[in-house]
Structure 1
Amino acid sequence: MLYHFLRGYTDAIYVAVHLRAPKAPRAGLFAEPPVPIEAQVATCFETLFGMIAWLIRALAGTARWIYPGRAGSAGRRAIAGTVAFVLGVALFAVVAAAGSARATILTFDQGRSATGFDVVPIQAGAQVAQDYGDRVTGSPMDVLGGTYTYGNGGEGFTPNVGVNYLATGGVFLWTLEYGDLTNVIFAGPGSNVFRVQLEADAGFEVVLYGFDLAGWPLTDYAIDAVTVSSNGIPLFSQIDVAVEGDATGPGHTAFGFAAPLMGSELTISLDFSNIPFGQQDNFGLDNIRFGQSPPPEVVPTEVPEPGSLALLVTGLAMLGLRRDRAAFRLRAAV
């Protein structure tokens, strides 16, 4: 019984530590690829289920020791009730820890006022706020002049990544009719190429998961190319790209990368040199989803300390068993 108890205790510490602070990849000659947060969470849940199996054995052994003469359905109900209570507490703690991670998704729901100071809801035709998407630590996120909001994914926010929006004719916001997308950015007329640049701080890398593209007004197009490069080196390239937007087919073209694209700098480039002058603003970009590597640490206050978590589980287990033992003695005395 003691062996099973100690094994469950150490597994609880492993789960809490690994969900709280993901390891940074090693650098240098023996560099390892960064492990996505989904894989880390999967590993932790695998360990959790192993811990549950050991915990059940430990509790069963403890129950047999406390109730040596107790058998039948009453004994099984006592053990099952205690196990269910303890596992519920453990699962709640682990799920709460895993749920604290988010991804940065640029949804462009806010911009800046004409003065450039106040944050305001998106205004069709206004220039994009160049600080939107910079060093995102959460959503909503307080910034100078107001609050920005972002979509949430599962890869961690990006406090070590900055964003730049680049086009010869400027970059602007729009609300509707870029396919089924709402609140998009587009390049102003005269821009043959539209770029969004993601730059990581030294020692970090940007991790790009995908983005959406659609045509206005509810129209399909074909543009020359869509590329994603890192410091000038192409990581993804597609030519003669169909940009969806009409009401009869898909409402937009979605770009998703099963193996995320990574680099110290990533640039999304839309090349619509084939489009007649004056129509370059008919291509809206939205839902740019990215993370960083190594991912940001989970705020410590959101996850119980490993020792506290293990002690909590242990204490609740002993309280449950003691309560059942007292009730059994009372019934025996009667």
Structure 2
Amino acid sequence: MSNFPMVRMRRTRQNERLRALVRETHLSVDQFIYPLFVAEGIQEPQPISSMPGIVQWPLELLGREVERIASLGIPAVLLFGIPGEKDAVGSQAYASEGIIQQAIRLLKAQVPDVLVMTDVCLCEYTDHGHCGVIHNGTVENDESLSLLAQMALSHVEAGADLVAPSDMMDGRVGAIRHLLDEHGFQQTPIMAYSAKFASGFYGPFREAAGSTPQFGDRRSYQMDPANVREALREVDLDIAEGADVVMVKPALAYLDVIRQVREHCSLPIAAYNVSGEYSMIKAAAQQGWIDEQRIVMEVLTGIRRAGADMLITYFAPDVAQWLRE
């Protein structure tokens, strides 16, 4: 044994106190953004069958839920709206009394210290379920930009702290930035869904948001999962158009993209731990196949380790509790 190496890597792994001292990547409740679904025409929370523990909230109960979120130390929520009526141009998305506009005003009055972030996309509001205006079966990019910008402006006028365009139309960040600045909202940040991939992990979300396309799919505007150089181009374009935060979505199957974006730019990076990633863990945990808490902490730590500064995750309340224990 005299020739045994002097370096023994296990020395700092002996107990939890030592492991914590040398831990390189940390999870903090300050990094979490909690997505919430707000629906018109319901009086009680509506469970989402494919996302155990997640519900659509009626407006009347939303404030109480966000008060609970705030009590856990979670700093921000990301709102998605489900309107009572839909049409071809998603007019409820930018209506002053739309469900999200009402929700923003309620939350800023009832829980003013929570950051209210809003998803900016037409898919929940259109009767065809696509993220822009349709002509002859095609999503029209440029015609959709003005509607998306109006939507973002209506959110900010209602009191939103940050808007997050997720539609993947070319030029939408610039269109939103221009309109917000024109109306005196130069200080409102934009978190761009910059590298949003056409993913199979979105299935449960479409039940939650009622946004399944009525025909075709979204591959003509969301990114091909095989491409990473293209993701970096999308990031560069969004930065040039005025994005303050860039996002990679989904997270778990795109850790390499998060890492490359981290090395490519200095902006804050958000990663969306999406519905399918959530539901897979929940389903396996319900079967007794995995330790849910251990797996969730490992997954979120991996996303942080890849380079994400903030985590949009449905696990946020659970993790906030676990971090307190």
Question: TM-score, normalising length from structure 2?
Answer: 0.30
Query: Which one has a larger percent strand, Structure 1 or Structure 2?
Result: 1
**Higher Cα Rg: structure 1 or 2?**
1
Question: TM-score, normalising length from structure 1?
Answer: 0.30
